[in-house]
Amino acid sequence: MFFLRRFPIFRFFLAGVLLSAAAAFVSAAEDWEAFYDALMNRGYYDVAVTYLESFRDNPSIPDDLAPELDNYLGETALELMRASATKAERQLYGEQAKEYLDRYLSRNAGGEHAYKANSALADLYTEEGNDEQARLQKGLSETERKKIEQTVQDDYAKALDYARTAVAQAKEVAQRMKSSDATSRSPEAQIVYADYLGLRIKENDLLMKLAETYPEGSAERKDGLEAARAAFDALYEKYSKYPGGFKARLLETKAALALGDQTAAAEYLDELLSLPMNKSLYAIKTETILLYGRMVVEKGDPADLFRLMIAFYDWKYANDLPPVFYITAEGLQIHLLAGQAVLKLDKAKTSDPKKYAEAAKTVFNDQKPAVLKAVTKLISKPDKQAYEWFDFVYRQKSPFSAEAEKLLADPIFAGRGNPLSEEEPATFEEAVERLNRAWTNFTQASADAGNALTAEASAKTAARKNETARAVDRAMRAAFRTAGRYSAEPGQLDKLRLQWATLFFMTGRWTDAEVLGDFLLYRRGGSAIAPKAAEISLLAAKSAFREGKKEGFEDDALDELSRDVQSRAEYIVQKWGGDLTGDNLLPVVREALIVRMDTAVTAGDIEKAKELLGAIPPSSAAYADAAIQFGQSLWSAYIELLNQKNEEPDSVDDAALQEVLESSRRSLEAGLEKKLELTSGGRGDDLPTVNAALSLAQIDLLSGRAEEAREWLLHPNVGPLTLVERRFAGVADEAAEPEEAAPEGEESGENAETGESETAESQTAESETADSAAQDLTLPPSPLSDPFQLSALTLGLRVLVATQDFDHAEKVMNCLELFVNTGVGSEERLTLVYLQLGKQLQEQIQTLRQNGETETLRAITRGFEGFLDRISARTQGNTYLTLRWVADTYFNFGLGLKPAAAGAAASAEGGEAPAELSAERDDAQNAADYFKKAGKTYQTILQRIEAEPQWATSPNAKIATTLRMSESLRELGRYGSAVKVLVPILETNETNLELQTGAALILQEWGRKKRSVYPRAIQGAVPKKGGRNLVWGWNRLIALLSRNIDKSPQFKEKFYDAVVNKMECRLAWLAGIADPAEKVKQARGGETELLKLHKLHPDLGGAAYKKKLEFYLKAFREAAGEPSDEGFPKPQQQPQEEESAS
């Protein structure tokens, strides 16, 4: 609704219209509002004016439009004026707008919306004043200048008058609404209150503008600015929690600057800089940074410049500010200021190193290490960064391009060529230099992409990787073009070819990589780079084969791809392999051997792979690598098969799956042992070996060999957990120091004087000290990737708990938190780790239950329960995430032990009820205990959030925890309480999909106990004013999701989950219908709904959903008295191309 966004008056107005429409029957009439909205969205403002004018003196004018016609026309003409290109048009439409608005006011002087018309008139005169002001930039005679200045003053004075009238009128309306209980909290009142604040800001902004039209030093100027400043200050004090209040503070800063009060301005800007970067504050933050930059860059004080860089980093890199802000006038100027700031800092570093260091210490002392690291990175390459930002501004072709060009002319950028760096390089050397720069960017981006742990980070880094790859590609072409003209050395070109092949390989362009690699392999076979080229060609062929298999290529095509791999591998072994027994095999030969096995495993021919491994003498150096790689290939194959089995349980044989896992374990173990033997106990920098140790530990844990897993994880030389913990050793001790240094008495949690327990506040303060100490620490660099380290810590935690080593487990848990706090990760990562851990545990419990391994199950749950109790009982150090994890794990235990629901869904999945009922009762009791513990912990979390909102670092914490709490109540069968818990949070978050789904699931579960609730699960519950339900139910969820089904797999999954749930409700509901005719009717309705769904979406969300829905289809038919084994209509075979029958 374009118009509603632009003009809040119409939101207010329409709210009234909608209310009245709901109250009375409205006869069919032209949908003027839809048409008007469509015209405004298309920018046809002139047609909108014509259209609205057609209603003047027209008896058929819609009732809701009639009283507001001139108001609409005035706003539309104002928009037309803004969109007009010529001065004449702007004047014409400006006059038209005035006419409409004046007429409206003359007829509705005391009306509810009069303040809006006055506000529009204020805007109109402000626009006119701004237009005149712009003319002052041009060269003018003194007389002309004075005349224009007078016009500007007059325009702003008129605008101010209108704004003041609008303020008074809005105040009156607001007071009227506030005085009545019926309206004081209504949505219309909220709009009026917000409008009132906006108008007061507008009024004082105009007062400031007007004051600035008077000469420097004049009393009018000073008085006006001071009055505006005082008014902004009062507004800020009163509305300091709202964006409007911050806007007032920003304008107060401008007024202070105009009055020459730099000290106060700096103070205000400091406050504004500390505001979070959230959506409602983007514009304010942007303007703040600009003002701050303008104030400090010229002065050049290092501390201020550091602060500016922190703010700039926060603005440009650390948040999700829409890029459109970068190219606004403010955004472009910020880039220029940031560039100047880094250059000035660089100079300060050499000219006054002491001051520079002190400034850095002061400013960065209270910053998070992640910020320190990132800003240091920006500052450490001043010329590179400044060049990048100036170049960015230069390319936007804005009024600031000239300034950017001037800055780029600084000799410091001499080596970086023309700002328009896409131009042809002048020499081969220049081309290579440019290529090297592009390559550095690409490798960095590629490493970042490899380290990304979350989907969002992954998408961002992948985009950056692609962008830098394209730059390398372009630079490479330019290099070859110039090489042709300037006769570069042939060896040099081959090196470039190798680099290009590497780029192709790293970006998944397999065929290109193969072609270029082959050229060097076959045509430059004797050169030093040939083995590396061969390796690229081989790996690219292997990747093409894997990809083809994954994408379901035909057998013939796969055979061809496989032959490509084999032929290269054989050629390489033949060329460089010798008898394979030597200890100095080239890496490419080892790779070729591994590739041959790997391809065999990928093709499912494990015997062939074993045969190939057998061909390598176990005493040779190559054997260890080959066995490890073979084991890793089998491990990957196992995971792939497991996924396949999860999707289609009958597609993979359990024994075969176990055999693959066992073979993998044996091979990894043999390879690792040989490796340790050859390297005198192993080396921590041998990443494939460390990786193999991690895989082996995972396999051991999976096979119930927790002790063996522990041994590999904690191996003194190659143990993944050992290596990660070693990295944390010094840091973890430092992090612990503040607690150790705490005075006696306080540490015990008791107040020394009163003997009373510590208050929550003091505990929090202390834990905050510890947290902030941890945040000040930086981890030493590690060759291990972030995802690897997270895997090691996660697996470590599981293994240590499984082996009841709780002290060590707690240390590992602290390391996990530290890992996040030291800035390499994010809380999102930690949340992900905890979620993953919880899910793995739940799956493990379910598997053990299904397999009847009761003892192991008890040992695991008991072990973990002890650990969780211990963590939740800690008085210090528990973060929101830790407690959430504890609560979630209790919850997952509950789910894992919960007896399978006997009902439609279970039957649909082919599940069976557990055989021993007594065991089931025990499990049910245990599950209930876990749900109770989970519920209590969620309650503790919510109480803490209520007391200290900042404690929960995630903005979504309250919603997510409330949802989980309601789920715990649901699982305990306290359905009414579960819904009640959700209602207050739904009132403010009605469109939250998770909450609505959670609420519908509660009603559905309730329906299992009380049949009459089923229709509520479908149709929704908790009616609001106006009749619609606050809890939507499956119907509305399905309707909403169906519109978004193609937007993401998640929506699709949610959609089908909702459909399956609805079907369960329908089926269960009709089972209890006594009237046979009604029952048949309902059953047919269910069948029809499913057939329609199938017609619209023939895939029905995939095999698993289809199977479930087919169950319901048959059940409906049976209930309708027409049992049938037929499922959904099957697709016909596509006929061959033949001549038309028609």
Q: Does 470 bind other proteins (CB under 8 A)?
A: no
Q: Is 1022 left (phi over 0), alpha (psi -120 to 50) or beta?
A: left
Rounded least distance, CB 2 to other proteins, Å: 12
Q: Does 988 bind other proteins (CB under 8 A)?
A: no
Compute the C-alpha angle 1109/1113/1117, nearest 5°. 165
Q: Does 2 bind other proteins (CB under 8 A)?
A: no
Q: Comparing C-alpha atoms, which of 345, 347, 340, 292 is closest to residue 314?
A: 292
Alpha-carbon torsion, ordered 993, 995, 998, 1003, to 10 deg: -110
Rounded least distance, CB 29 to other proteins, Å: 6
Residues in region 1043-1082 near other proteins by CB under 8 A: 1046, 1066
* Residue 454 CB-density burial (10 A; 0-12 exposed, 13-18 middle, 19+ buried): middle
Tokens representing 1096 are 């619209």
Tell me how far CA of residue 81 lies from CA of 33, 54, 99, 721, in angstroms.
21, 20, 13, 68
Question: Among residues 656 and 1096, whose Cβ is nearest to other proteins?
Answer: 1096
Rounded least distance, CB 157 to other proteins, Å: 37
Question: Among residues 826 and 1035, whose Cβ is nearest to other proteins?
Answer: 1035
Instruction: Give the interface segment with other proteins, choosing from 314-322, 678-686, 774-782, 1095-1103 (CB under 8 A).
Output: 1095-1103
Cα(497)–Cα(583) distance, integer angstroms: 30
Question: Among residues 54 and 1012, whose Cβ is nearest to other proteins?
Answer: 54
Question: Among residues 187 and 1121, whose Cβ is nearest to other proteins?
Answer: 1121
1, 22, 54, 707: which one binds other proteins (CB under 8 A): 54
Cα(232)–Cα(342) distance, integer angstroms: 33
Instruction: Give the interface segment with other proteins, choosing from 32-40, 175-183, 950-958, 1002-1010 (CB under 8 A).
Output: 32-40
Cα(962)–Cα(955) distance, integer angstroms: 13
Quick one: CA dihedral 1031, 1032, 1034, 1038, positive or negative? negative
Q: Does 654 bind other proteins (CB under 8 A)?
A: no
287, 590, 1089, 1105: which one binds other proteins (CB under 8 A): 1089
Which DSSP letter does residue 778 get? -
Residues in region 990-1019 near other proteins by CB under 8 A: 1018-1019
Count CB neighbours of 185 within 10 A.
10
* Residue 1077 CB-density burial (10 A; 0-12 exposed, 13-18 middle, 19+ buried): exposed
Q: Which stretches of 418-520 are assigned E, i.e. beta strand? A: none
Given a contact cutoff of 8 angstroms between Cβ atoms, the answer to whether 191 and 225 are in contact is no
Question: Among residues 216 and 1138, whose Cβ is nearest to other proteins?
Answer: 1138
484, 955, 1098, 1102: which one binds other proteins (CB under 8 A): 1098
Q: Comparing C-alpha atoms, which of 810, 818, 800, 631 is closest to residue 713?
A: 800
Rounded least distance, CB 1072 to other proteins, Å: 15
Q: Does 552 bind other proteins (CB under 8 A)?
A: no
Residues in region 686-745 near other proteins by CB under 8 A: none
Cα(763)–Cα(771) distance, integer angstroms: 12
4, 15, 47, 194: which one binds other proteins (CB under 8 A): 47
Question: Among residues 51 and 806, whose Cβ is nearest to other proteins?
Answer: 51
Instruction: Give the interface segment with other proteins, choosing from 300-308, 422-430, 710-718, 1091-1099 (CB under 8 A).
Output: 1091-1099
Given a contact cutoff of 8 angstroms between Cβ atoms, the answer to whether 360 and 302 are in contact is yes
Count CB neighbours of 241 within 10 A.
8
179, 351, 918, 1134: which one binds other proteins (CB under 8 A): 1134
Rounded least distance, CB 47 to other proteins, Å: 6
Q: Does 1092 bind other proteins (CB under 8 A)?
A: yes
Instruction: Give the interface segment with other proteins, choosing from 159-167, 373-381, 722-730, 1086-1094 (CB under 8 A).
Output: 1086-1094
Instruction: Give the SS3 label for residue 1031.
Output: strand
858, 874, 1024, 1095: which one binds other proteins (CB under 8 A): 1095
DSSP 689-747: HHHHHHHHHHHHHHTT-HHHHHHHHT-TTT-HHHHHHHHHHHHHHHHHHHHHTSPTTTT
Q: Using CB under 8 A, count the residues that bind other proteins.
A: 49
Instruction: Give the interface segment with other proteins, choosing from 22-30, 307-315, 722-730, 737-745 (CB under 8 A).
Output: 22-30
Q: Does 1140 bind other proteins (CB under 8 A)?
A: yes
Q: Does 1088 bind other proteins (CB under 8 A)?
A: yes
* Residue 695 CB-density burial (10 A; 0-12 exposed, 13-18 middle, 19+ buried): buried
Q: Does 50 bind other proteins (CB under 8 A)?
A: yes
Instruction: Give the interface segment with other proteins, choosing from 42-50, 451-459, 502-510, 627-635 (CB under 8 A).
Output: 42-50
Cα(807)–Cα(789) distance, integer angstroms: 20
Q: Does 29 bind other proteins (CB under 8 A)?
A: yes
* Residue 296 CB-density burial (10 A; 0-12 exposed, 13-18 middle, 19+ buried): buried
140, 657, 770, 1091: which one binds other proteins (CB under 8 A): 1091
Question: Among residues 424 and 1125, whose Cβ is nearest to other proteins?
Answer: 1125
Rounded least distance, CB 411 to other proteins, Å: 47
Instruction: Give the interface segment with other proteins, choosing from 369-377, 844-852, 1003-1011, 1097-1105 (CB under 8 A).
Output: 1097-1105
Count CB neighbours of 638 within 10 A.
21
Cα(402)–Cα(408) distance, integer angstroms: 10
407 φ, ψ (degrees, to nearest 5): -65, -35
Instruction: Point out which residues pair with 1029 in neighbouring strands.
Output: 1023
Q: Does 44 bind other proteins (CB under 8 A)?
A: yes
Rounded least distance, CB 38 to other proteins, Å: 4
1031 φ, ψ (degrees, to nearest 5): -85, 120
Rounded least distance, CB 1018 to other proteins, Å: 6
Given a contact cutoff of 8 angstroms between Cβ atoms, the answer to whether 634 and 670 are in contact is no
Question: Among residues 590 and 1094, whose Cβ is nearest to other proteins?
Answer: 1094
Rounded least distance, CB 1138 to other proteins, Å: 4
Cα(285)–Cα(279) distance, integer angstroms: 10
237, 320, 1099, 1118: which one binds other proteins (CB under 8 A): 1099
Residues in region 1017-1036 near other proteins by CB under 8 A: 1018-1019, 1035
Question: Among residues 794 and 1082, whose Cβ is nearest to other proteins?
Answer: 1082
Instruction: Give the interface segment with other proteins, choosing from 533-541, 613-621, 809-817, 1128-1136 (CB under 8 A).
Output: 1128-1136
20, 22, 42, 875: which one binds other proteins (CB under 8 A): 42
Cα(887)–Cα(895) distance, integer angstroms: 12
Question: Among residues 506 and 1021, whose Cβ is nearest to other proteins?
Answer: 1021
Q: Which stretches of 896-935 are assigned E, i.e. beta strand? A: none
Quick one: CA dihedral 1019, 1023, 1024, 1030, positive or negative? negative
* Residue 528 CB-density burial (10 A; 0-12 exposed, 13-18 middle, 19+ buried): exposed
Rounded least distance, CB 1015 to other proteins, Å: 9
Instruction: Give the interface segment with other proteins, choosing from 25-33, 190-198, 290-298, 1004-1012 (CB under 8 A).
Output: 25-33
Cα(1032)–Cα(1019) distance, integer angstroms: 7
1, 31, 299, 651: which one binds other proteins (CB under 8 A): 31
Q: Which residues bind other proteins (CB under 8 A)?
A: 27-31, 34-35, 38-39, 42, 44, 47, 50-51, 54, 60, 1018-1019, 1035, 1046, 1066, 1085, 1088-1089, 1091-1092, 1094-1099, 1122, 1126, 1128-1142
